[in-house]
Amino acid sequence: MQYFEVEQRGPIQIWKINNPPMNYMTGPLSRELVGLIGKLEGDDATRVLIITGAVEGKFITHYSVDELAASAADPAECAQVMPRFFAASHRTLNRLMLLPQAVIAAINGDCMGGGYELALACDFRIAADGPYQIGLIEILLGLLPGGGGTQRLTRLIGRGAALEALLFGTAYSPAEAGRLGMVNRVVPPDQLMPTALEWAQTLAQRPPRSIAAIKRAVYLGADRDLETGLYVERNEMAGVIISEDARTLMGAYNAAVAKDPQAARSEFLRGIGLPPTKGR
């Protein structure tokens, strides 16, 4: 791999983005990302993915403006090529979003434009505190976020806050991004990877079929009308309730209740004493 360092820690896979000095997103980097996503889609042994930057102070600064400007140099050709280019970008980030694994963006530096759009396609965003910037700043270049940012940010923080961020092109500090809900947590820099790994270790113990089903119900149902969302939910429930993991866990819980209902409530439901999940 040229642009990603891949590390496997048991059921947790870590992708470190490495395109120094600025860690720009580029066409070749995006194509490598597609290949990694394809491998992970069929990887039953990996239960959680963490994505972070390998360059100090950079998650992904933003998409290469050199590439975008070169594409726009011939307006007629650009009008033909760009819709296909951004359709491919949307497909890539949709595939990342719908991976059956839980996906954590561990933001360790500048995360703007296409970099933040990638983070938006992850399930969780944990940011290290520090003197760097997070945001969708494309309007400052006469553009708009073309990798799904207008849609995902609006769904994450609401229309009013998203329009403020998008139309002003504000680059936020991690603390400001945290207050707006653009990231889930802001932690001290030395706690970024320990926190991401702690989350990942907990998620890796959850039934993987339930993780995948919950993600589909949220991403494919929650932004539609209520009845459509409920349709998605009940079909996902019909699939997971008959899984081996669900039947094992429900049986173990009922056995704990029969033994000591108070202990079942205070321990089992906090994850203590759960049988290991098998993904079946």
pLDDT tens string 256-266: 888 888 877 77
Query: Residue 153: which CATH number?
Result: 3.90.226.10
Same domain, 216 and 156: no
Interatomic CA distance for residues 21 and 130, integer angstroms: 19
- Under a CB-based contact definition with an 8 Å cutoff, are residues 17 and 10 in contact? no
Same domain, 135 and 217: no
How far, rounded to the nearest angstrom, does the alpha carbon of residue 278 sit from its chain's CA centroid?
23
DSSP state of 10: T
pLDDT digits (tens, 9 = 90+) for 122-144: 999 999 999 999 999 999 999 99
Is 57 a member of any domain? yes
Mean residue pLDDT of the chain comes to 94
Same domain, 215 and 181: no
Same domain, 246 and 200: no
In this structure, what are the phi and psi dihedrals at residue 43, rounded to the nearest 5 degrees?
A: -100, 95
Known active-site residue 138: yes
Same domain, 223 and 197: no
Same domain, 199 and 210: no
Same domain, 192 and 217: no
32, 117, 233, 236: the active-site residue: 117
Residue type, 183: V
- Under a CB-based contact definition with an 8 Å cutoff, are residues 197 and 12 in contact? yes
Is residue 254 very low, low, confident or very high in pLDDT (cuts 50, 70, 90)?
confident
pLDDT digits (tens, 9 = 90+) for 49-104: 999 999 999 999 999 999 999 988 889 888 888 889 899 999 999 999 999 999 99
Same domain, 87 and 142: yes
Is 214 a member of any domain? yes
Q: What is the pTM of this model?
A: 0.95
| Residue burial 185-222, b: 16+ Cβ < 10 Å; e: rest | bbbeeeebbebbbebbeebbebbbbbbbbbbbbbbbbe
Q: According to DSSP H, which parts of 12-148 are helical?
A: 27-41, 65-72, 75-97, 114-120
What pLDDT, on the 0 to 100 scale, is given for residue 188?
98
Is 212 a member of any domain? yes
Is 167 a member of any domain? yes
Domain enclosing residue 48, as ranges: 4-204
- Domain count of the chain? 2
- Under a CB-based contact definition with an 8 Å cutoff, are residues 137 and 62 in contact? yes
Same domain, 132 and 187: yes
Mean pLDDT of 216-232: 94
Is 279 a member of any domain? no
Interatomic CA distance for residues 40 and 56, integer angstroms: 26
- How many CB atoms within 10 Å of residue 100? 20
What pLDDT, on the 0 to 100 scale, is given for residue 132?
98
For residue 237, what are the β-bridge partners?
A: none
32, 56, 77, 138: the active-site residue: 138
Known active-site residue 117: yes
Same domain, 151 and 167: yes
Is 119 a member of any domain? yes
Same domain, 141 and 248: no
Mapping DSSP onto H, E and C, the string for 148-207 reads CHHHHHHHHHCHHHHHHHHHHCCCECHHHHHHHCCCCEEECHHHHHHHHHHHHHHHHHCC
Which tokens go with 138? Answer: 């494309």
Which sign does the torsion angle of CA 166, 168, 174, 177 carry? Answer: negative
Is 249 a member of any domain? yes
Which sign does the torsion angle of CA 124, 122, 224, 86 carry? Answer: positive
What pLDDT, on the 0 to 100 scale, is given for residue 268?
76
What pLDDT, on the 0 to 100 scale, is given for residue 12?
98
